[in-house]
Amino acid sequence: MFAVLVLLCAGCLLPSAAVAAGADSTLSADSLRIVQGRTLEVSSYRIGGTDPVTHTTITRENIRQWHLGQDPQFLIERATPSVLSFSESGSGVTNYGSFRLRGIDQTRVNVTIDGVPLNDMIDQGVFFSNIGDLVNGMSSIQVQRGVGMSSNGTAAFAGAVNFETPDVLSKAPSVEAAIDYGSFNLLRGSATLSTGQLSNGVSVMARITRLTTDGFRRNTGTEATSMMISGSWVGKNESVRALALWGRTDNQLGYFAVPKPLAEADPRTNINDSTDRDDFGQSLLKLTYARSITNDITWETSIYGGQAGGDYFSGFRDSVGTLTQINYPLMNRHSGVMSSLQVNDLASGLNATIGVHAYQFRRRNWETIMPTSDAPYYDDRTQKNELSGFVRADYTQGAFTARADVQVRQVDLIFSQDPRTGIAEPLPVHSWLFVNPRLGLTYDLADESELYASYGRTSREPTRFDLLGGTQITSANADVLRNPNTVRPEVVDNLELGYRYTGADVQFSANAFGMFITDEIAPIGPFIEQQFVQLRKNVPSSRRLGIELEASARLLPSLDVSASATAMSATISEYRPDNIGRDTVFTNVVPVLTPELMARLSATWHLSSDLSVTTDARYVSESFVDLNNDPAMILPSFVRLDMQVRYGFANYAELVASFNNLTDAFIVTNGGAGSFNGAAVPSYFVQAGRNYMVSFRWKF
């Protein structure tokens, strides 16, 4: 409430101060041009191309080339080093899926859209399949690797991903449509309508998408509908923007990884029951007011709210085949406010930005045995409150630019258990206060190249699952909740050293990174009474050291090439598992699902002004699936070859044919430790073999 009052007061004072200073009459022509576009908004959640942060920006042109309706992680993987993605359906399009960045899972990656958090604040993951076709129509996607800079919402521990909705690019109205058909009975239709910017400064864009597919693995089909509506009004020195997202998805489920012998015999194997499915929806509303107070001062405030929830049906059968189906529904509701003030030329060469963010996130988890959906046998509540603020300053002197950034986060996590658990007393509030500093330096070499170096520290609080080890609050995990900091927050110290060259026909970047993690949270605690669940514990220290390369070049007028690579060494210094039945200490082991080498090479031949062919090759080395580093418990390495053919019809239509995994390679990008016939074996989420997609897009 205090943060809300501060922001409301700022909103009352700043516009009046602008009038008192005569801002309307003193704005220069340059600042008026800024007002007439998106850049009026303070980009407190984005960094510039020369900032001392390791990042990749996926442009609108990149999106148009590679996005054919798939969930965002697959596009991010294609365009960004150190990213490995998967989906439970294996189709490479949709269904439950996620990605890992530098071998670190998605719950440790901050994800926002125009600065508004998309992460589930309690579980800290992002379920992209809830809002299908999110990438469609985005202006760009920026992926920061490492702690980056201060972000709204969950910790940018491994990195941050920001989606940017489009500017008003044209005053002319337009209609765009696409239809796609592909393997596994994939059918997708999408339509977008834009008014362009009208004479009164108003513009509206609306997009609707419908997708159905059977999935690669058996019984992993998806039916999804999504919509996005954005509108804006741009005045002389102020703007108002609104964004609405909505999606509804019905997935068949394949959340059990498949033991290696079954997966190798039939890669499409799904050991979930055929009745397992979900029905989930998600929505988000955001309203932003931005004002240019003077030539050098810009203020922006946003309010937002949203919800996500639905049913999650999981079944099991007894020895005679009788089905018992349990529903694990949940409902999230959240609301927040964020505000930032940017001041340029505070002193010679000095710019500064300050920002605050406050939100409340409420969760209900309950469980029922079907068909009795209105009589839950379990029902609890979780609430998370956060107040954060940051101060950032940039100082340029000659060829040097220094950036300092410090964020303060206060987080409270409140549990209200089901009284039927037998836990009578109120559970204590879990509270954390984090101070996250960042410092970077860029040196301009004046030949289209630059050097940069940065240091940052970020802390990440445990998720609900980290604390519970499962879906319920029970007597088996209550002691963790009764004693805050039984599972301690994770802390990462991140060093980055990089070089960037940006020429007319050649772009190149290289960076070395070190991520030194204290108290990493891992599933190494004892198993508890709920099936397939074990408690989490802290690992004292671990590290990730690596080199990332990105390059692109026009070698010939008709030939463009690009490449990226990551070489990484990752080590956990020591851990003591409670889940193997003996007192054992493991030292200097490699973290799970962390390949040492990933590389990609792509080439595009422009055969004519209308026809192009792109080939794409990717290599990923093997990785362990358990912390014991048993050489038999690995995900195998793979090479994947793809090809895309594009043909344009004048300026209004385009036909794209994509042929994926041309060699029908056996590809596994996620999995775990499992068993088969009493023996320990790795278990796999196998991704699709040879497949295709044909897309026809046109614009009026």
Rounded-to-integer distance, Cα 113 and Cα 124, Å:
15
Rounded-to-integer distance, Cα 248 and Cα 233, Å:
29
First to last CA, the chain: 48
Q: Which domains does the chain have, with CATH numbers?
A: 2-699 (2.40.170.20)
pLDDT of amino acid 38? 47
The confidence band for 27, taking pLDDT boundaries of 50, 70 and 90, is very low
pLDDT digits (tens, 9 = 90+) for 529-588: 654 567 899 999 999 999 999 999 999 999 999 999 999 999 999 988 886 667 788 899
pLDDT at residue 8 greater than cutoff 60: no
Express as a percent the part of the chain with pLDDT over 90.
Answer: 80
pLDDT of amino acid 523? 84
The confidence band for 54, taking pLDDT boundaries of 50, 70 and 90, is very high
Rounded-to-integer distance, Cα 680 and Cα 363, Å:
37
Rounded-to-integer distance, Cα 481 and Cα 474, Å:
10
Contact present, 651 and 632 (Cβ < 8 Å): no
In DSSP notation, 189-232 reads EEEEEE----TTSEEEEEEEEEEEE--SSTT--EEEEEEEEEEE
Express as a percent the part of the chain with pLDDT over 70.
Answer: 92
Find the largest Cα–Cα distance for the chain. 82
* Averaged pLDDT for residues 508-533: 85
Looking at beta carbons, which pairs linking 615-622 to residues 24 or more positions away fall under 8 Å? 615/641, 615/642, 615/643, 616/78, 616/641, 616/642, 616/643, 616/644, 617/641, 617/642, 618/642, 620/84, 620/595, 620/669, 621/595, 621/596, 621/597, 622/595
* Averaged pLDDT for residues 335-357: 95
Closest by CA to 166, choosing from 193, 191, 139, is 139
Q: Determine if the pTM surpasses 0.85.
A: yes
Rounded-to-integer distance, Cα 374 and Cα 386, Å:
32
In DSSP notation, 288-336 reads EEEEE-SSSEEEEEEEEEEEEEEEEEEEEE-TT--EEEEE--EEEEEEE
How many other C-beta atoms are found inside a 10 Å radius of the C-beta of residue 11? 14
pLDDT of amino acid 4? 36
Contact present, 641 and 617 (Cβ < 8 Å): yes
The confidence band for 170, taking pLDDT boundaries of 50, 70 and 90, is low
Closest by CA to 166, choosing from 230, 256, 122, 73, is 230
pLDDT of amino acid 48? 81
399: which residues sit within 8 A by CB, 6+ positions away? 443, 444, 445, 446
pLDDT at residue 500 greater than cutoff 70: yes
Closest by CA to 409, choosing from 466, 468, 367, 357, is 357
Residue 436's beta-bridge partner residues?
407
pLDDT digits (tens, 9 = 90+) for 120-132: 999 999 999 999 8
The confidence band for 685, taking pLDDT boundaries of 50, 70 and 90, is very high
Residue 551's beta-bridge partner residues?
508, 563
Rounded-to-integer distance, Cα 136 and Cα 229, Å:
12
Rounded-to-integer distance, Cα 84 and Cα 668, Å:
10
The confidence band for 15, taking pLDDT boundaries of 50, 70 and 90, is very low
pLDDT digits (tens, 9 = 90+) for 222-248: 999 999 999 999 998 999 999 999 999
